[in-house]
Amino acid sequence: MPHNQRIWTMVADAGSACIYSQKLLGGVLTPVEGARFSNPAVHEPSRNLTSDRLPRSIDSAGSQRHAMEPRVDPHRQTKVVFARQLADYIERQAEENKYDKLILVAPPQLLGDLHAALGKHAEKRLTAEIDKDLTKLPLKELAKHLQPEGLR
């Protein structure tokens, strides 16, 4: 990887994300201004994430009405929506040429959700990923995980 590239590293879990910038892989990590995100819904009880009254359906064999169960776990849905919001942000920034290389750091499920939502501009810049939750690490510890030999 050439020197003096704008490398962005997104460190995320289901509840939060932060993007860091560095000029050289293994260099100093600096938080990108305005690139800290949170997903407070992930901590909400399920009852707060669904409507109080389930949708109704009419039984095809008669005229009885039955409550329909939600098809998607509401917590899972908030995580997918959060991943899409993150992917949209990094796509817009890629379109504006704000970074050259992208590293994604997230637990496996969120990493998969991010991949599914990435746009073509961000995807072209994706150079490495780490499938771990490193959001709680202090900056110095995080930097150790982002050394060139540790990325795949």
Question: Which residue is listed with tokens 């637990």?
Answer: 107
Enumerate the β-bridge partners of residue 17.
12, 37
Q: Where in the chain are the domains? A: 7-43+72-150
Cross-sheet strand order for the sheet of 126-130 = 30-38, 16-22, 7-12, 101-105, 126-130
Q: Is the pLDDT of residue 46 over 70?
A: no
Model confidence pLDDT, tens digit, residues 15-29: 899 999 998 777 789
Model confidence pLDDT, tens digit, residues 47-71: 555 554 445 444 555 555 545 555 6
Task: For residue 106, count CB atoms less than 10 angstroms from its CB and return exposed for 0-12, middle for 13-18, buried for 19 or more.
Answer: buried
pTM: 0.78
Query: In the prediction, which pLDDT does 53 show?
Result: 47
Whole-angstrom distance, CA of residue 15 vs CA of residue 91? 20
Model confidence pLDDT, tens digit, residues 97-135: 999 999 999 999 999 999 999 999 999 999 999 999 999
Query: In the prediction, which pLDDT does 103 show?
Result: 95
Q: What is the Cβ-side half-sphere exposure of residue 60, based on CA atoms within 13 angstroms?
A: 0
> Could you tell me where the beta strands, DSSP code E, fall in 78-133?
101-105, 126-130
Per CATH, the number for 7-43+72-150 is: 3.30.420.60
